[in-house]
Amino acid sequence: MSARARAATAMAFRDQRRRPLVLVLLVIVPAYVITRSIAETLPTPRDVGLPGGAIVHTTMKDVHGAEMGGVTIAFVVALVGVFVMQSALEGDRRLVLAGFRPGETVLARLAVLLAATAVVVGVSALVTALSFDAASWPAFVAAFLLIGLIYGGIGALAGAVLDKLAATYLMLFLVMTDVGIVQSPMFSTTPGRFAVLLPGYAPSRLMYEGAFSTGFHAGGELALSLAWLVAVAAAVGFVLSRAVSSRSVSAPS
């Protein structure tokens, strides 16, 4: 990492340190939503279809235990993505005009997004563990991380190309539709035919595999999740580099 990239990253983190409420809310929002929703759900019977084709007979309480972390991580990290990139667009063009390469400023903002994702995933896994025992924690937490990174990237893309109000509404709509409904066994034992087209499909399948299966039959889903992550990361790098480059002339409001 060049000295300029290190300086840009240090400044981006210093910018976040000046806003302690962000960190407090990144802890409180997932902790409250996950804890409260699991605690209040009754253990009514529910079937969940897993990637290997097995059907697990479980309860709504456990389904909520598995699912709420994913939904909350996706929405919170997507919002972080939207606003970290809005900040980048406001300030980083000046850095580029001052001699920084666009890639160096983008790297700094992505480091902030990664750190926020790590906080939200860590808190979510911890509070989930207080009320739900996943069958395979490594697969379950990996799915949390993949959901966070993919949706953080999608939020960053939305923040780079859309008005902040539109981007906020879009993230709510997309996360609730994808992770909250289409992929959720609360609505259907296995996801429908077109669910695979959405970004939450593969990491959600991995999440339910980790939650309810001690074996691992979700290799395809893991590969698809990684493919989504690479594609989203490449798109974020490309869009942001163009957006902050000195040749760009317009910015979203």
Buried b (16+ CB within 10 A) or exposed e, 184-212: bbeeeebbeeebeebbbbbbbbbbbbbbb
Inter-CA distances, 194 with 21, 65, 182, 237, Å: 39, 25, 9, 28
Residue in the block written with tokens 């609730």: 176
Q: Which range of residues in 17-25, 47-55, 190-198, 225-233 is near another protein by CB under 8 A?
A: 17-25
Among 44, 53, 197, 249, binds another protein (CB under 8 A): 44
For the chain, the first-to-last Cα distance in angstroms comes to: 31
Q: What is the contact mask toward another protein in residues 98 to 137, using x (rule: CB under 8 A)?
A: ----------------------------------------
Torsion of CA 161, 165, 171, 177, to 10 degrees: -120
Among 7, 11, 29, 226, binds another protein (CB under 8 A): 29
d(Cα 2, Cα 37) in Å, to the nearest integer? 45
Which of 225, 193, 232 shows the shortest CA–CA distance to 70?
225
Smallest distance from another protein to CB 187, Å: 6
Smallest distance from another protein to CB 22, Å: 5
Instruction: Output 162 or 179, the one with its CB closest to another protein.
Output: 162
Interface with another protein in residues 192-251 (CB under 8 A):
none
When asked if residue 162 is in the footprint of another protein (CB under 8 A), the reply is yes
Among 5, 8, 12, 26, binds another protein (CB under 8 A): 26
Q: Which long-range contacts (CB under 8 A, 24 or more apart) does 220-227 make?
A: 220/51, 221/51, 222/142, 225/143, 225/146, 225/150, 226/146
Q: Which range of residues in 5-13, 40-48, 97-105, 212-220 is near another protein by CB under 8 A?
A: 40-48
Torsion of CA 199, 201, 207, 213, to 10 degrees: -160
Instruction: Output 73 or 218, the one with its CB closest to another protein.
Output: 73
Among 28, 55, 223, 231, binds another protein (CB under 8 A): 28
Tell me which residues touch another protein (CB under 8 A).
Answer: 19, 21-22, 25-26, 28-29, 32-33, 36-37, 39-42, 44, 60-61, 64, 75-76, 79-80, 82-84, 86, 162-166, 168-170, 172-173, 176-177, 181, 186-187, 253
